Amino acid sequence: MTTSVSRTSDAVETQVALAFAPLHKRAFGIAIGVATGLVIFFATIIYLLRGPFRGWNLWLLRSYFFDYSVSWEGAFVGLAWGCFVGFVAGWFIAFCRNFVIAVSVFIIRTKAELSQQRDFLDHI
């Protein structure tokens, strides 16, 4: 009976450790950057092949991305800009998540240690 309980507690500890594990900022940035770049690239290609869609105002991307246009060359410019902007956003999101998790764990541990030692002087 104790082995199944210990296996269960080991599995829970492993899952909790994975939940609080820090994200790799560079890998997360690259993943988000590639996804963002490909979305912009394929949105532009689909727009060019199938014609203008109602509600697809891709020309607005020109306001944000220098030298972007709704053209074949613009698709590659959008891919590059999307990769760059996505990388920066992904890196920043991973950084903020890691920072918030670290601060939260620090606060929880500090509160737990203080609550254990609250009655320390009463025993002297």
Determine the pLDDT at residue 21.
Answer: 86
The dihedral over CA atoms of 93, 99, 105, 111, expressed in degrees to the nearest 10, equals -130
- List pLDDT tens digits, range 64-104: 899 999 899 999 999 999 999 999 999 999 999 999 999 99
For residue 28, give every residue at least 6 positions away whose Cβ sits within 8 Å of its Cβ, in sequence order, or none.
Answer: 90, 91, 93, 94
Give dist(CA 51, CA 72) in Å, integer: 13
For residue 77, give every residue at least 6 positions away whose Cβ sits within 8 Å of its Cβ, in sequence order, or none.
Answer: 65, 67, 68, 69
- List pLDDT tens digits, range 1-45: 456 656 777 887 888 778 778 899 999 999 999 999 999 999 999
pTM for the model stands at 0.77
